[in-house]
Structure 1
Amino acid sequence: MKKVKWTLKEQCDFLKKVGELLSRGYSLSEAMASSSLQLTLEKKLQLQEVIYQLKEGFHLHSALGSMNFNSHLVGYVFFAEQHGGLQQAFIDGSEMMQKRGEDMRKLKKALMYPCFLFIITILLFFLVDKIILPRFTSLFQSMNVNENTFMVLLQWIGSVAPLFLIVMFTLLLLCSLYYYFIFRRFSMIRQVSLVVRIPIIGKLVALFYTHYFAIQLHYLLAGGMSITTSLNLFAKDEKQPLMKEVGQYLRRKLENGEQLDELIQVFPFLELDLRAVIRHGQQNGKLEEELQFFSRYCLQLLEEKIDQIMKVTQPAIYLIVGCLIISLYLAVMLPMFQLMEGV
């Protein structure tokens, strides 16, 4: 199959349209054909090949995987093919990934301008430190005038900056070596367990995977499957290595007579509240509904956390830039006033 580039937005829009058409009574092939009408010729030809593969008995998740669709979207399709609720799973999965993509775009947009200002300010700082301040220093020494505090501070920062860059480069190199030679060899469970220890980012990762696990288990249970059968399907999800390992572990432990709610706390990338949700759902016989509500809660909390990060990060960068600019201004202007007083 010829490789055609699909953006995440295009993938989400396509699957959402397919889900909406399925809910109106279209067959899967008809829904895909109708959804492809507004796409480019290359994408239409690619989808025609996918439709042909479906008629030959291939699975949709395999075809989408060969098209390099997002692995989380492919995971939604994989589970949807098992429990039969294609239309709702397609819509929910595409909306979730659309929100994730929009959040990332907002975060990039919010940080782009302040980061640009920060880089320009750093360049100005080095210009002042390497060209302007040395001339003032020489002039002050010749006139027996003391240097002001801001000049001393900027000179100190200028002397420390190279050491700071060397340390940062060394840390980056060590992290890269650790990733390529050690981290990648860990199981996915251990990898993600280490990632969730990172401040701020770890909480976002935990909420994302908790939502994914809860919503997929909800779909499977709502489709009439048992917990054991559902976990067997998790263990077969090739596009999500983490969920595959989680499914294999939980299935093995359940076969030994252990309880699902007790096992969940083993995984640091799944929210602790999920344990209480599963226990309560098993007690009242409405586990699938409890999981659905909790998955929505995790998604809402994830949105709020990302908004909080954007609200804090952008002003913080502006504050740093502002302090640097004021310091540069005072470092340049105060010597002039001192010289004027000395004349």
Structure 2
Amino acid sequence: MHMDIFPNQIFKNKSLKTDIQLRFLNRLSQSLNNGYPLLAALEAFQWDYELRKPAERIILSLRNGVSFDKALEEADFHPTITSFLYFTKDGNLTENIEKCAELFEKRMKHTKKLKQISRYPFILFIIFAVLLFFIKKSVLPSFIDLFQSTPNTGITIKFSIFFINLLFQTMVMIIFITLITALVWYVIKHKWNIERRIKIYHRIPIFRQYIQLHTSYLFATHISTLLKTGIPLKEILTIMHEQKNLPIIAFYTGLMTEQLKKGVYITSLLQSLPLLDPKLGMIFQKHSDRYALETDLTIYAELKAEEFHERLMKMIISIQPIFFICLACFIIFIYIALMWPMFQLIKTV
């Protein structure tokens, strides 16, 4: 997430294959559930050709005193995995790995589904753009030559030329603006502080809903799992504030820590944070007992995970029909724009 590594991220992808990462997590959680210590479970991976190399790198890092999440990062695991397992403690290692594997598997399914759905519309878009360019450069000049001697069709052909030119320029502008916006956002987002970025996220309606769901899920999940280890809430918030992988949660927990230092409970603050679900404040207000709070946060996190999955799948599935409807409308308009002058010419014959 820094400008100086931008070229490397284009030309080099260091991460392991996603299916290998998922298999690694599932095998590790299975071994830990069977009673293996962490290092013994990792050493058993040396029998698997694909898992042996990352396992050896993780073992070496752990023996050098590196934390488990940092060891995974050095073994080129995805940031989704390393950021989730940052909060892992000895007492909740197996549970966190299982949750992380489940979250990463859903992410893989969403990514695969998005690629499958967007591949065909993307190809059609390219074909349509080429066809539109051909019409603009070859067909329209022939139309102008054909109808310039027919005054009755002059207005119609002018309208057709104007419409096709406008459509072509609009497509070019959309592509150009999209590329420039993505490039500019990638460069400047790391220079802006998180408070400013949160304000921008909050102003984007659809994106705001998804990032609120995701942030609320992660917040509830990490607090509930850390509560199980017996760590006081104030210390949990400090741990979450000090991590750098989830900047929104780090910023929000910093505000909560300040509130607790002033002797103010965090319920009212939770309900006012724009990228957290206000219901979290109600859960904290409802329970003073840590066990009841941990139980409710666990249930809430499971519900939010399901809601996030359903909304994301609905959005992904809706991409194709929306694109096809827009493309069909463009094709019909182009057909009318090209055929209408012909009809006008026939009437004059």
**TM class, shorter-length:** 0.7 to 0.9
How is 1:1-343 mapped onto 2 (pairs within 5 angstroms)?
5-35=15-45, 37-40=47-50, 44-81=52-89, 84-146=91-153, 152-153=159-160, 155-159=162-166, 161-162=168-169, 165=172, 169=176, 173=180, 176-177=183-184, 180-181=187-188, 183-282=189-288, 286-343=292-349
> Identity percentage over the alignment?
24
Deviation, 1:301, is 1.1
Q: What is the alpha-carbon distance in structure 1 between the residues aligned to residue 118 and residue 174 of structure 2?
A: 24
Letter in 1 for 2:105: Q
Deviation, 1:9, is 3.2
Comparing 184-193 with 105-114, greater Cα deviation is found at 184-193
Deviation, 1:235, is 2.5
* SS of alignment partner, residue 297 of structure 1: helix
TM-score norm. by structure 1 comes to: 0.86
Deviation, 1:209, is 1.3
Residues 163-218 of structure 1 show CA distances to partners (whole Å, capped at 9, x for unaligned) of 7745874686477557635x433322432342242121221111111111110100
* SS of alignment partner, residue 224 of structure 1: coil
Runs of 5+ in structure 2 lacking a partner? 1-12
Q: RMSD across aligned C-alpha pairs, in angstroms?
A: 2.9
Q: What is the alpha-carbon distance in structure 2 between the residues aligned to residue 290 and residue 150 of structure 1?
A: 67
TM-score norm. by structure 2 comes to: 0.84
Q: What is the alpha-carbon distance in structure 2 between the residues aligned to residue 240 and residue 337 of structure 1?
A: 62
C-alpha change, 1:206 and 1:120, in structure 2 (3 Å) is: same
Deviation, 1:248, is 2.7
C-alpha change, 1:54 and 1:310, in structure 2 (3 Å) is: closer
On the 8 A contact 1:71/1:240 being kept in 2, the answer is: no
Comparing 304-313 with 151-160, greater Cα deviation is found at 151-160
Comparing 227-236 with 30-39, greater Cα deviation is found at 30-39
* SS of alignment partner, residue 75 of structure 1: helix
Q: What is the alpha-carbon distance in structure 2 between the residues aligned to residue 277 and residue 66 of structure 1?
A: 37
Letter in 1 for 2:83: G
Runs of 5+ in structure 1 lacking a partner? none
On the 8 A contact 2:153/2:341 being kept in 1, the answer is: no
On the 8 A contact 2:157/2:341 being kept in 1, the answer is: no
Letter in 2 for 1:117: L
On the 8 A contact 1:261/1:279 being kept in 2, the answer is: yes
Comparing 143-152 with 231-240, greater Cα deviation is found at 143-152
C-alpha change, 1:106 and 1:150, in structure 2 (3 Å) is: farther
Q: What is the alpha-carbon distance in structure 2 between the residues aligned to residue 78 and residue 241 of structure 1?
A: 13
* SS of alignment partner, residue 84 of structure 1: helix
Residues 66-110 of structure 1 show CA distances to partners (whole Å, capped at 9, x for unaligned) of 2232223113322122x6211111011111122022112212221
Q: What is the alpha-carbon distance in structure 1 between the residues aligned to residue 244 and residue 177 of structure 2?
A: 36
* SS of alignment partner, residue 58 of structure 1: coil
Deviation, 1:338, is 4.5
Q: Which residue of 1 aligns with 2:10?
A: none
Letter in 1 for 2:17: T
C-alpha change, 1:35 and 1:211, in structure 2 (3 Å) is: farther
Letter in 2 for 1:295: A
Q: Relative CO higher for 1 or 2, CA cutoff 8 Å, sep ≥ 6? A: 1
